[in-house]
Amino acid sequence: MAGLRVGILGATGAVGTELLQLLEERSLPLEELRLLASPRSAGQQLPFAGETLPVVEVSEDAFQGLDLVLASAGGSVSRQWLPIAVAAGAVAVDNSSAYRMDGAVPLVVPEVNPEDLAHHQGIIANPNCTTILMTVALWPLHRVRPIQRIVAATYQSASGAGSRAMAEMKDQAIAILQDRPPPTDIFPYPLAFNLFPHNSPLNEQGYCQEEMKMVQETRKIFHAPDLRVSATCVRVPVLRAHSESLNIEFQTPFPVEEARTLLGQAPGVRFVEDWQRNYFPMPMEASGQDDVLVGRIRQDISHPCGLELWLSGDQIRKGAALNAIQIAEVLLEKNLLG
């Protein structure tokens, strides 16, 4: 295939604009790039590779002739339009939750389970951002000694709720410093100088939707339906990049030095540890980076078969847009685009 004809559905959002930047940076060959969005965003012009491209309204005809659709416009939009894109001959990589737990749809992190792409039927799901970051860090350990249990605590930035949420947190900070009431149009509570449990809907067990995504998606990606996972997801006053504290239990002890060696060599991971300076991964340094920063690996003093680690990763980049681009690169390399 000489050049790909690619459409971005949701081109004007935070992930859509990151997809544009990554398509400029990486080597995916492009013959055509089509920017699709809602009627509200249609007519905008977005910069790409030294020129400007128009944003057009999504319609049934908008997918004609495309090889690949990168979708990041929300679950209801994906459910409405991706079957139409596939019927028109495109392969769709979806960043929403619409198809993640569909048994017929591969849920893929390229550093973990790229082989699952061979079974796609036109739609491929991008996992949730917190799941992507966690699985990139844990897969190198899991493949050596299968993990029995994961207890995760996440520290999720404003970027997870989109560009408007990032702007709102800035406005909140200014308002609070000026002794004014902070605006809460996107978040239910002020996030600046504050934190709160993730505000997605709660189930009858008291787990929120975001936490259950980590449970269910990790099991599917690892092909480990009985893997025990528990998560507590928290919004924190960080602009961009999520962090996670992970407690991992194995059947037998996992030497810390072996874990450090494995993670230091793992694709998609950058090992960040300086115990003398108490220097470990930070969201400020993970922002804009492709790799997941991993460090502070230590023996769990409460369990002989447990390890603790800490990570930070860019939610918009590796947690969303980059993972989708990497999926596209594997599809092209393996000749799986039709």
Is residue 41 a known part of a binding site? Answer: yes
DSSP state of 187: S
Q: How far apart are CA 302 and CA 314, in angstroms?
A: 31
Alpha helices in the chain (DSSP H): 14-25, 75-87, 129-142, 163-177, 209-222, 256-264, 283-286, 322-333
Q: What is the mean pLDDT of the chain?
A: 96
Residue 219 assigned ligand-binding role: no
Give every CB contact of residue 330 below 8 A, 6+ residues apart in sequence. Answer: 110, 114, 117, 336
Q: Is the pLDDT of residue 1 over 70?
A: no
Strand ranges inside 49-169, DSSP E: 51-57, 68-71, 91-94, 123-125, 147-156
Tokens of 260: 């450090």
Model confidence pLDDT, tens digit, residues 64-84 = 999 999 999 999 999 999 999
Name the CATH superfamily, with its identifier, for domain 131-315: Dihydrodipicolinate Reductase; domain 2 (3.30.360.10)
Is 14 labeled as ligand-binding?
Answer: yes
Q: Which two tokens mark 154?
A: 């996440």
pLDDT in tens, 30-56: 999 999 999 999 999 999 999 999 999
**Catalytic member of 129, 142, 198, 233:** 129
pLDDT the model gives residue 162: 87
Fold topology of 4-127+320-333: Rossmann fold (3.40.50)
Residue 303 annotated to the active site: no
| Angle 168-93-80 from CA coordinates, rounded to 5° | 75
Task: Specify burial of residue 154 (Cβ count, 10 A radius: 0-12, 13-18, 19+).
Answer: buried
Residue 93 falls in which region: left (phi positive, over 0), alpha (psi -120 to 50) or beta: beta
Is 215 annotated for ligand binding? no
pLDDT band of 163, cuts 50, 70, 90:
confident
Q: Which of 120, 142, 198, 242 is catalytic?
A: 242
* Domain definitions of the chain by residue range: 4-127+320-333, 131-315
Decide if 129 is catalytic: yes
Task: Compute the distance between CA of residue 248 and CA of residue 149 in angstroms, rounded to an integer.
Answer: 6
